Amino acid sequence: MHTEPEAANLAPPLIGGGKMPSDVTRDVCGPLERRPTGMWWLAFAGAASLLAIGIAAVWYQVATGIGTWGLNRTVGWGFDITNFVFWVGIGHAGTLISAVLLLFRQKWRTSINRSAEAMTIFAVICAGLYPVIHMGRPWLAFWVFPYPNFRGPLWVNWRSALLWDVFAIGTYFTISLVFWYVGMIPDLATLRDRSRGLRRKITGLFSLGWNGSARTWSRYEMACVLLASLATPLVVSVHSVVSTDFATSVVPGWHTTVLPPYFVIGAVFSGFAMVLMLMLIARRVMSFEDYITSAHIGAMCKVLVFTGSIVGLAYATELFTAWYSGSEYEMFAFSNRLRGPMGWAYAVMVLCNVVAPQLLWSRRIRNSLGLVFLITVLVNIGMWFERFVIIAGSLQRDYLPSAWSDYVPTSVEFGALIGGFGLFFTLFLLFCRFLPMISMFEVKTVLTDGHERAASESDARERSVA
Amino acid sequence: MNPRLDAPPIAPDWRTPRRLQSALLTTAGLGALLFLAGIMLQPERAWGGYLMGFVYFVSLALAGPLFLSIVYLSGATWAKPLLRIPEAMGAALPVALVLGLGLIIGTHELYEWSHAQAVESDALLAHKVPYLNVGAFSIRMVIYFLVWIWIGRKLASLSRQACSGPEGRRRSIAVSAAFMAALSVTLSLASVDWVQSLDPHWFSTMFALRILSGIGCAGMALCTLVLTTLRRRGTMRAVVTEDRMDDMGKILLALSLFWAYIWYCEYMIIWYTDIPEETGYYLLRRQGDWGTLLPVNLIVNFAVPFLAMMLRPWRRSSIILTRVAALMLVGRALDLFVMIAPPILGSEVRLGLWELGPLAGALALFGWILLRALGRSPLVGGEAPAAS
């Protein structure tokens, strides 16, 4: 018999612990049906406090005016747009994992896609707030939409990348939300069937009368494939459009042709780092060690080292081309980036984004959860700094030396930055409490049907018979 | 037993078609003769054709190991029975080195930066001398090829030995990662050296990605063409199922979309910003007849393959898939022509024997090498597709 070498060829199971389908339901629904743990309350209190700081800061800024920020006539974009681009980037991994990895048939995505999608939505919410705050008069934010109005010639500028940004982010948010919700319907029905009272009514409403019949499944799968096909181009388009906010300008350091794919790959990089960071926490807090295994973590580490290397290559390409161009402005923009007043920020960015993920080439480091966690935190810091270096760093030194100016963020801006993280984590913790964090019905398709446990049970039975 | 684990029958009826091989060799020889005549009569145009042929040849040869490394890194099991084709494509890399050494002779005809006089009177060119000089150009060329040949060979031999099991898989993944890392740096520089520096004042950080997307399109189109041809001849029918053709069709769709994305981003940003450092590149390429070729390029390389490969029945039709793949190969030549020829020919489009001769010769030579390499070992075999 040559079954053994074939068995060696088989991929190892994705889910540990010899789970049966009913175990999955119990493990995922269980935490939602119990009272929240002390750990959860502690985390929630922390996140909510950060959010409160943010609300206070933004309240003060809106009431007083944009002058409470450190922006000036030279540096018109600072923390606000940095935060915006950072959060849009974080929002990339969700759709990538759900739609692109679905099309590539990467089955390891099933354990993490639900929370990654949730993260996408929360990140896009965070992102969308910053430009609105930046307007100074957020109650007029609806002016960004082109609709018939009585403002005479005051009409959106179709030639501006910023308007297309509104559409890109709006489309992305809508599709991500629909995709996330539709992907959750079978699991909501499971929750409905397990609950009583008000919870049953609410989950019943949102599971749209799911009955699990073959016809329902068949329509459902068709809908998912269609949504995945719609969502896939969005993964690339959103950050490409965001990049044109900068690339279509004539600001050296902003204007470079590679910026769209450069932003997309950076977004995937930072998004994956954030997903991995949250998963490392969640598997510990929610005891999902059997669902998010070292194989999942290893796969995500490999994505990180791959995307991190591309980011490094992009940095090198920029530097080389700045020199190769022979253009005085390009060369100055990059020598200023390296050695100017924000040189330290460039160093942080390179250390965190290029050097740190290279450690993940080593299997030993990929297996050390503490180190992986540290690297994901570093990458998140580094990717925030990348946007800061590009945005504020390039503006500081423009064509007119007489207009040069430094940018010193104020405590109000730090408050808004902190508030973004507060909002993100508050929403994420609420999600962990009320919705199934792991896609139960999809994980059930990658189970090895409890082969090992069934085998050991039958062994035990045989032994007891003997 | 799982039917997917059954070894597919090794096709016994495959023989390298001698007549095709001699036809290819004759074309290659004619191309070489035309090129030699061209050097005497129209040196600039002949060398332009040679550069197009060279870049096309290298693109196809690099696509082999690139495809292999993507398959191994992503753990794609579906492509395992088809890997003889990319392995054979990579076998052309040493010949590409020889063609590249030939290119060094033509630097003076092709590249403005190789003229001492031009450099003296041009501050920008003088600034670039540390990078753009014939010595450094040649040394870099040799380094690129040595790296590609060395890692590409290793990858192909691992792939041919069909290393299965965890240890073999780990080695193939390590070599694939090494190839990717090496290719990213070398190709970035090579694309500047060979093509971008034809317009020596112009620069674009996107440029290497344009070359890379072209490598992807041409390489996969050629793989598809070989597969559908073999299928029509009755060979590999067990492996090249309708599902495989469907997969190849989807890849062609994705690659044409990627090519268009890269092309559009670069063009749009340069058009929108309209700064003199960059805009001259497209100014030249939008003048006169070049301006007609610009949309034709987009239709051939993007619109037609993208729309055709959207339809499932068309992806599954051997005839349509073959035609789309062939069109993408023609599109590659057109794209290279629009990239390479304008700085050589100036504002007038001229496409004649001096361009087509060397190009056709190089492609025929590649086809000959590919067929020879394919004939050396059974077309199907090696690692059984692992069930996932």
The ipTM, to two decimals, is 0.90
In a domain, residue A319? The reply is: yes
Mean predicted confidence (pLDDT) in B46-56: 95
Residue B135 burial (CB < 10 Å; 0-12/13-18/19+)?
exposed
Whether the predicted pLDDT of A432 surpasses 70: yes
Whether the predicted pLDDT of B61 surpasses 80: yes
In a domain, residue A246? The reply is: yes
Chain centroid to Cα B319, Å, comes to 23
Residue B361 has a pLDDT of: 95
* Distance of alpha carbon B373 from alpha carbon B153, whole angstroms: 13
Contacts of A10 in chain B (CB under 8 A): 386-388
pLDDT band of B2, cuts 50, 70, 90: very low
Whether the predicted pLDDT of A33 surpasses 70: yes
Mean predicted confidence (pLDDT) in A433-444: 85
In a domain, residue A183? The reply is: yes
CATH at residue A69: 1.20.1630.10
The closest of A223, A221, A235 to A100, measured between CA atoms, is: A235
In a domain, residue A458? The reply is: no
Residues 6 or more apart from A97 whose CB is under 8 A from it?
A109, A112, A113, A116, A117, A275
In a domain, residue A358? The reply is: yes
Whether the predicted pLDDT of A285 surpasses 90: no
Q: Could B205 and A5 be called an inter-chain contact, meaning their C-beta atoms sit closer than 8 Å? A: no
Residue B384 has a pLDDT of: 43
Residue B197 has a pLDDT of: 93
Within 10 angstroms of residue B337's Cβ, the number of other Cβ atoms is 22
Q: Is the dihedral of CA A260, A261, A263, A267 positive or negative?
A: positive
Q: Could B204 and A258 be called an inter-chain contact, meaning their C-beta atoms sit closer than 8 Å? A: yes
Residue B385 has a pLDDT of: 43
Shortest distance, CA B271 to any CA of chain A (angstroms): 9
User: What letter does residue A96 receive in the DSSP assignment?
Assistant: I
Mean predicted confidence (pLDDT) in B327-356: 92
pTM comes to 0.91
Whether the predicted pLDDT of A61 surpasses 60: yes
In a domain, residue A42? The reply is: yes
Which of A14-18, A89-93, A346-350, B115-119 is modeled with the greatest confidence? Answer: A346-350
pLDDT band of A333, cuts 50, 70, 90: very high
Residues 6 or more apart from B193 whose CB is under 8 A from it?
B137, B140, B141
How many structural domains comprise chain A? 1
Q: Is the dihedral of CA A292, A294, A299, A301 positive or negative?
A: positive
Q: Convert the pLDDT of each residue in B103-158 to its tens digit.
A: 999 999 899 999 989 889 999 999 999 999 999 999 999 999 999 999 999 998 88
Contacts of B261 in chain A (CB under 8 A): 236, 240, 260-261
Domain that holds residue A102: 20-147+154-448
Q: Could B265 and A240 be called an inter-chain contact, meaning their C-beta atoms sit closer than 8 Å? A: yes
Mean predicted confidence (pLDDT) in B230-252: 83
Chain centroid to Cα B199, Å, comes to 21
- Mean pLDDT, chain B, rounded, equals 88
Q: Convert the pLDDT of each residue in B282-325 to its tens digit.
A: 999 998 889 999 999 999 999 999 999 999 899 988 899 999 99
Q: Could B268 and A244 be called an inter-chain contact, meaning their C-beta atoms sit closer than 8 Å? A: yes
In a domain, residue A256? The reply is: yes
Q: Could A11 and B388 be called an inter-chain contact, meaning their C-beta atoms sit closer than 8 Å? A: yes
The closest of B137, B287, B260, B143 to B200, measured between CA atoms, is: B137
Quote the tokens at residue B13.
Answer: 């009826």
Residue A38 has a pLDDT of: 85
Residue A450 has a pLDDT of: 54
Interface test with A, best of B72, B74, B180, B205 (most A CBs within 10 A): B205
The dihedral formed by the CA atoms of A384, A387, A392 and A398, expressed in degrees to the nearest 10: 160
pLDDT band of B3, cuts 50, 70, 90: very low
The closest of A134, A172, A65, A129 to A423, measured between CA atoms, is: A129
Mean predicted confidence (pLDDT) in A162-170: 90
Mean predicted confidence (pLDDT) in B333-337: 95
Residue A10 has a pLDDT of: 53
- Mean pLDDT, chain A, rounded, equals 87
In a domain, residue A443? The reply is: yes
Whether the predicted pLDDT of A439 surpasses 60: yes
Interface test with B, best of A102, A243, A248, A257 (most B CBs within 10 A): A257
